[in-house]
């Protein structure tokens, strides 16, 4: 996959961390990323039942500097929003509805 600009994975029952782990050059041209209605999360539960929130699981988004549309709505994200938006200067539409983020939206 080269030069992918629009990726729509809405309503696919994807689970775990966002699918942005791989060679960064595969994703840097993305202008639209839609991952709504999946079961993506930034939380892990250990074998002993300990729940951990990992803001770094969304950190891969900061390398997508061409993003204009980011839709992470209706997943299982929780906790504070990571400070990833400073690099997303072209971002025009951000949809985080239906998650359990808390705190201030970073500038």
As a whole number of angstroms, the distance between CA 17 and CA 40 comes to: 6
pTM of structure: 0.80
Interval 24-47: pLDDT, tens: 556 788 999 999 998 888 776 666
What is the model's pLDDT at position 15?
75
Please identify which residue in the block is written with the tokens 């709504």: 36
For residue 96, the Cα-to-chain-centroid distance in whole angstroms is: 9
As a whole number of angstroms, the distance between CA 45 and CA 48 comes to: 8
Interval 58-85: pLDDT, tens: 777 888 899 999 999 999 888 888 777 7
Please identify which residue in the block is written with the tokens 């690099």: 87
């Amino acid at each position: 996959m080269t030069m992918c600009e629009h990726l729509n994975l809405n309503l696919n029952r994807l689970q775990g961390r966002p699918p942005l782990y791989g060679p960064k050059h595969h994703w840097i041209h993305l202008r639209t990323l839609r991952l709504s209605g999946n079961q993506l999360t930034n939380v892990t539960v250990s074998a002993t039942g300990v729940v951990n929130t990992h803001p770094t699981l969304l950190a891969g988004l900061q390398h997508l500097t061409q993003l204009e549309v980011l839709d992470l709505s209706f997943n299982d994200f929780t906790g504070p929003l990571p400070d990833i938006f400073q690099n997303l200067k072209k971002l025009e539409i951000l949809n985080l509805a239906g998650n359990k983020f808390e705190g201030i939206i970073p500038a």
